[in-house]
Amino acid sequence: MEYRSLGNSGLRVSVSGLGTNNFGGRADLEQTKAVMGKCLDLGVNLIDTAESYGRGLSEEYIGVAIKGHRQEVLIATKAGASGRPGTTGRGYLRNALEGSLKRLGTDYIDLYQIHYADPTTPIEETLAALDDMVRGGAVRYVGCSNFAPWQVVEAQGVATTSHFTPFISAQNQYSLLNRTVERELAPVCMKYGLGIMPYSPLAGGFLTGKYRPGEAPPEGARLSNPQQASRQLTDENFAKLAQLEAFAEEHDHTVGELALAWLASQPHVPSVIAGAMTPQQVEENVKAVEWHLAAEELRELDEATGWEQPGRGGMR
């Protein structure tokens, strides 16, 4: 397993990270333990969760699964609900942290992330609360998720002027089909010392190849939702998928492996957050990021997805 520094921090994270949104929902405790056991076997040390995943069961199940192995993993969890005012305020965050620590069965969090920016709470209050947690020893580092580039800049500026603990990571949606991160967020993160941890690297499952043009989505699949399907299952995306599948096949890989390998090849990405329901899927995710794409191959994929790097004409 390859390990990289997470932003300007002392955390060395596995390039293959584990997303746990399914734990406590689609995956029960025994499945969680099996997946976590395989992560420990293969050296996957970054385990990403949130207080909201499985209504708290994701953290609870992870706590059971890592008992006796706490020093072998880096726990990244999140607080702050989308659309709910006050969920990054001092009182809310203090209670949220206490709940996460209890469910995880640990006395510290390696990376505590703000899940969504809260427009009703001043960023100064949020950062002051996080700084207290770091100084108190319950949190080692802090990060953000779903922040716009300007919000990252604002937060880092406030942290600098107020001597608060700065963010070291940004977790945003990022894939071969959704590369908007590269336009502004990636340059901002590289300048201010944040590592980007992509979530939804398979574009909601679209980049697994299980969705086909002219066919109904598989029953129960994430993109079976009509609203999501209308955004993702487009002629343009299916045309891109065909080119990506051809590229992957030429290199004896699947398009899903290509999606993860491509993200792992980006200089601003220390770890790729990918979900897994079985130990086999953990193995597949690890194998995928071991594929190192050459510069010429990356340029070929830019053409396949109709993308020009920022500063060279923008997105076509």
Q: How confident is the model over 103-152, as pLDDT tens digits?
A: 999 999 999 999 999 999 999 999 999 999 999 999 999 999 999 999 99
Which residues are CB-neighbours of 225 under 8 A, at least 6 positions away?
Answer: none
232 within 8 A of 203, measured Cβ to Cβ: yes
Looking at residue 316, what is its pLDDT?
36
Q: Which one, of 73, 78, 98, lies nearest residue 21 by Cα?
A: 78
State the Cα angle at 32 between 27 and 33, rounded to 5°.
150
Q: Which DSSP state fits 71?
A: G
Run of H or E residues at 239: helix 235-250
State the Cα angle at 14 between 275 and 260, rounded to 5°.
50
CATH number, position 84: 3.20.20.100
Return d(Cα 50, Cα 261) in angstroms, integer: 25
Run of H or E residues at 141: strand 139-145
82 assigned to some structural domain:
yes
The tokens describing 134, both together, are: 């770091």
Write the burial class of residue 71 (CB in 10 Å: 0-12 exposed, 13-18 middle, 19+ buried).
Answer: exposed
231 assigned to some structural domain:
no
Catalytic residues: 53
246 assigned to some structural domain:
no
Looking at residue 230, what is its pLDDT?
67
110 assigned to some structural domain:
yes
75 within 8 A of 62, measured Cβ to Cβ: yes
Residue with tokens 């608060």: 164
Return d(Cα 223, Cα 215) in angstroms, integer: 12
Quick one: CA torsion of 236, 242, 247, 253, rounded to 10 degrees? 120
109 within 8 A of 144, measured Cβ to Cβ: no
Which residues are CB-neighbours of 79 under 8 A, at least 6 positions away?
Answer: 50, 51, 87, 88, 92, 93, 96, 97, 100, 112, 113, 114, 115
312 assigned to some structural domain:
no
222 assigned to some structural domain:
no
Return d(Cα 239, Cα 222) in angstroms, integer: 20
What does each of the 316 residues of the chain score in pLDDT, given as a tens digit?
999 999 999 999 999 999 999 999 999 999 999 999 999 999 999 999 999 999 999 999 999 999 999 999 999 999 998 888 999 999 999 999 999 999 999 999 999 999 999 999 999 999 999 999 999 999 999 999 999 999 999 999 999 999 999 999 999 999 999 999 999 999 999 999 999 999 999 998 899 888 787 777 776 666 666 666 667 778 888 899 999 999 999 999 999 999 999 999 999 999 999 999 999 999 999 999 999 999 999 999 999 888 876 654 444 3
219 assigned to some structural domain:
no
220 assigned to some structural domain:
no
**Count of structural domains within the chain:** 1
Range of the domain at 125: 3-204+255-294
Looking at residue 233, what is its pLDDT?
79
pLDDT tens column, 271-303: 999 999 999 999 999 999 999 999 999 999 999
Looking at residue 82, what is its pLDDT?
87
141 within 8 A of 111, measured Cβ to Cβ: yes
261 within 8 A of 293, measured Cβ to Cβ: yes
Which residues are CB-neighbours of 235 under 8 A, at least 6 positions away?
Answer: 213
